[in-house]
Chains A and B, each alone.
Chain A
Amino acid sequence: MTSIITRRRFNFGAGASAAALPLIGTGARAQAPLGVGFIYVGPVGDHGWTWTHDQGRLALEKEYGAKIKTSFIEKVAEGPDAARAIRQLAQAGNQLIFTTSFGFMNPTIQVAKQFPNLKFEHATGYQRAENVATYNARFYEGRAVIGTIAGHMSKSGQAGYIASFPIPEVVMGINAFTLAARKVNPNFRTKVIWASTWYDPAKEADAAKALIDQGCDIITQHTDSAAALQAAEQRGVFAFGQASDMKAFAPKAHLTAIVDDWSGYYIKRVKEVMDGSWKSGDVWHGIKDGMVKIAPYNDAVTPAARAAADEVTKGIVAGTLHPFTGELKDQKGTVRLKAGEKASDELMSKMDWYVDGVQA
């Protein structure tokens, strides 16, 4: 069972408005299904970040059927106003609420205080409470895999990287990608364009074109649309998908994609609420736990590149390979990791420096 509350979206027809009605007054009665709510920052139709969270919600419905009742509010602006949307879900009888963007952190904590009996889960944040847990994915592991492929597949030894904002999450990805590529080709260079937006398809496409003009023959991105892939397809160079498998947009260019898969975590946490074992905590899951996945390789990926990429994936899963292993220096020559040392989560979550080979 699903009910959809859409803000800033016009509900034409009785069906849409009727679907929103049953939410009001569904208190926690005995035998009633467990209410699970989601707050999304983007539209479900972004085919990226929000879409992957909604796939997680759908996986929940498939797993638990009539035992749960999910609902979501999409396109919720980050910041104070989000509290209203979170409170709406809390008052509608949901017992577990996922808030799926960094900017929902303070509103989530605030609403959680008002509803001490409900459980909250906030994605990518760092503030926790008795009834607020946090979760995030180790996307940098996926970056290391695609970086390895880029090192093998690039003829010019130059990749173009369309990035959003210089926050640790993005910087970490750029470094992991470049380090992996330079293991294959020591002269590999990554040219970064800061788009200063998460989402502007035309600008992302133009950035890709500019990078290709400057000699990059591999395009990767940390922005949300598939426009850069389309530009790569048009110009006949390779590219990687972001957040979801984007092969449909660029059948020839799309080598593989880093896919976010939240379903395993969501299913586990809902079960814990059902049997009363839910506790607040913090998880940062990666390839090993299935939260980060690598999409099927394109036929164009050479056997050598496949083998090397699989090797990296296996090493990460086995724990023998960490994308950030010393000795590691930043561009100024400061030693960030001693020989053999593996980066701590603390170091990575504060990363504000670049490795050699990055032009940012």
Chain B
Amino acid sequence: MKKGLPIAVAILSGLFVLAGLIFQPYLGPYLGLVLNWAVIVGSMALLVAIASLIIYHARSILTARKGFIFSIVILASFGLSLVGGLWLGVDNPAYLKWVGAIQRPLEVSLLGLVALIMTSAAVQVFRNRGWSPLTVSFGLSAIFFLLIALGLLQTLEVPQIATVIGYIRQLPLVGARGLLIGVAIGAVMMAIRVLLGSERPYSD
């Protein structure tokens, strides 16, 4: 019973959502209701996860674990955001400005760091992976698309070159579609396993 109930709920929910997508005119309103339940359960799970995170960091501070200073920073910033949100409201412009003024520069600086490391990793890819068709095509396409993005070839204003560039610009989309088709096949197979009850990501 303890193991059977979650499986039954998962299978029934999955089948209902699937039926709702196919018979949308009939089941559409109920589909919205079930998805709202999922949102509520997801929000509860987030609360549980945050509580678990707070307990983890509180334990780090209490036991003076190495790096507990960072736990103090995390709990203090979490507490400040929580109190600010509860007091002023999460839609308050002053509160949003205050949170954004801290969060945005941090995220942008991380992105800047990613750009630098990506450049270095692109160079190192040959050293790490050796010379292979994959790395050679990676290097050639990186150089070629850098050239196109600079606009040097477009300044020549030759219609044939513009046509060729147009075709080549489609290539990444084609590759991405190929990968996404593969991902979609994998997702379909996993969904079928969940609906059959043989895949249970929600249990041991």
The answer to whether A and B come from one shared complex is no
A contacts, CB < 8 Å to B: none
B contacts, CB < 8 Å to A: none
